[in-house]
Amino acid sequence: MLVGTMVSPRVVLLFAGIVLMLGQCCVVESQPSLGTFTLGFLGPAAESEIPTKLAIEWESAFKVAVEVLNSKGRPYILSPRSEYSDCDWQKAYHGADVLLNLDPLTYPPVIGVVGPACSGAAMASSPVMKVKNISMVSFAATSEALAADRDFSDNLYRTVYSDNYQAQAIAASITKLNMTAVTVLHTKQYYSMNLAQNIQEAVAGAIPVNVVMLENGENSTLDFVQLKTVLDKHDPNTFVILVMHPQQAHDAFEALNVQGRLDNPWWYFGTDGVTALDPADEKPELVQKLLGEIGIAPFGGDYSNTSECGEYWTYWEQAGYPGRPVSGVSKSRSYTPYLLDTVHLYFVICDHLVSTNQTITAQNIWNVLKAGHPPFLGCTGEVAISPITGSRNISVQPPIYDLVSLTVDDWEAKGRIESNKFISLQPLQRPTGTVSAATADNPSKKSNAGTVVGIIFGLLLAVAIVIGGYIVWKRRQNNYYNPTSFIRTMH
């Protein structure tokens, strides 16, 4: 005879709970992984037209962003893979071709590309990636032509604003600084030619604008003889606008120094390519001559301490990657905040695909970009790309630029331009380099009579300076914001 035993209800519930947990555990473990995918990066090599330190900074920023965002417990991994594109069409084509044809047995499929930084390189590489429906999102290619020719490069997008808005910010600066005429110097580079045209269109005949294309030199990026000839005809009391990449700006400033055209009253205004020039890479004596030169730089915020970017900053320091810039708003000129946001964008799109039960593929990511990706808060504010233009959506966040002035260490923000209007402007100090005094042919043979004449001339010169100083003072009282003033203040 079998004897029955009573089982406690609590034991039954406990047993059932254990079975349920084991079942759930087994279900989770049996789910297939979403896998690992390659996120490509096309950036400049060191010692290219982009300053070496900036190229290193961008390479490290790309790795930092990928590693930080991979650490968030997502059900997929994006693996970074870099190739060089520089600002060269051929190098950009080659770099894109390498990414396109990675060995599938060694590398996971490429689902997108961050970069290139330069507009010409972006134009050259986008058709290559388009062969396999791979999108590209640049963090620094700003040419307006990229938005105008969407049929050719409809797989190319960017988290930055088009140069059309930079040109409008420059036109606003021309008005604010009361410029009466300007000479615009550009090169044959894609970015340079198109932005020079944008500036002329933005000024719209308000003042005379002389646009000149500089040819390449025999052993340099610029023809220095042509540069001298052009500026021989230019009034040194009016601005020269330089529309160039950093390396070309370096070559131009070196030549202008030799020609004595960094001395008073010459004053230059640089586009964002010029303000990417790093004074740490220049000779100290040249930097001293350049102090006070001004230009436009992209506003990216102080990404060292904002909540959206602080974790990148902290991880960058802990990981010990090279090129970590100093903290502060002034470093926004580097476009690094836009690079961080571009990497973040690809993760946002992948998250969207996962949440809508779609497969992570290059085609699906491109489809999201074409339809309009979910906006998100990034290092540079609200990030959204217009599906129509492929550029930063100004209806979500208006274009913002800084007017910057060169210091010994960096380009310092002096003014803020939002939607083509100044919302702030600090005093600007005009460059104060002086023309070197002419040396006599044979100073050892000066006569006493020459000395007397020199003393008399010196006295007359002193009187003239006093009178001239009074006249200048009176003029400043009547027109304090004159374009040739040494100090300019917003009223």
DSSP 391-440: SB-TTTS--EEEEEEE-SSSEEEEEEEETTEEEEE--EEPP---PPPPPP
The pLDDT assigned to 142 comes to 94
Assigned domain for 5 exists: no
Assigned domain for 458 exists: no
> What phi and psi values does residue 268 have, to the nearest 5 degrees?
-115, 150
Assigned domain for 193 exists: yes
Nearest residue to 229 (alpha-carbon basis) of 249, 214, 242: 214
Assigned domain for 21 exists: no
Are 267 and 176 in a shared domain? yes
Are 375 and 408 in a shared domain? no
The pLDDT assigned to 343 comes to 98
> What phi and psi values does residue 300 have, to the nearest 5 degrees?
-125, 0
The pLDDT assigned to 302 comes to 58
Ranges in the chain, pLDDT < 50? 1-32, 329-330, 434-457, 463, 466, 470-491
**What is the spatial distance between Cα 483 and Cα 178, in angstroms, rounded to a whole number?**
5
Domain stops at, among 429, 446, 473: 429
Boundaries of domain holding 95:
36-160+301-396
Handedness of CA 89, 91, 94, 96 (dihedral sign): negative
The pLDDT assigned to 467 comes to 53
Nearest residue to 195 (alpha-carbon basis) of 312, 95, 295: 295
Assigned domain for 481 exists: no
pLDDT in tens, 112-158: 999 999 999 999 999 999 999 999 999 999 999 898 878 889 999 99
The pLDDT assigned to 461 comes to 52
Are 230 and 199 in a shared domain? yes
Are 139 and 156 in a shared domain? yes
**What is the spatial distance between Cα 348 and Cα 72, in angstroms, rounded to a whole number?**
12
Are 109 and 42 in a shared domain? yes
Are 238 and 306 in a shared domain? no
Are 293 and 246 in a shared domain? yes
Amino acid at site 92: A
Query: Residues 41, 113: contact at Cβ < 8 Å?
Result: yes
The pLDDT assigned to 282 comes to 92
Q: What is the CATH number of the domain that holds 339?
A: 3.40.50.2300
**Tally of structural domains, the chain:** 2
Are 204 and 317 in a shared domain? no
- The token duo for 150 is 């969407």
Report the percentage of the chain scoring pLDDT > 90.
64
The pLDDT assigned to 45 comes to 85
**What is the spatial distance between Cα 186 and Cα 195, in angstroms, rounded to a whole number?**
9
Nearest residue to 380 (alpha-carbon basis) of 302, 294, 265: 302
The DSSP-derived string for 289-312 is HHTT-EEEEE----TTTSTTTHHH
Assigned domain for 22 exists: no
Are 405 and 371 in a shared domain? no
The pLDDT assigned to 365 comes to 98
Are 388 and 421 in a shared domain? no
- CA triple 247-252-254, angle to 5 deg: 95
pLDDT in tens, 290-302: 999 999 998 876 5
The pLDDT assigned to 53 comes to 85
The pLDDT assigned to 220 comes to 76
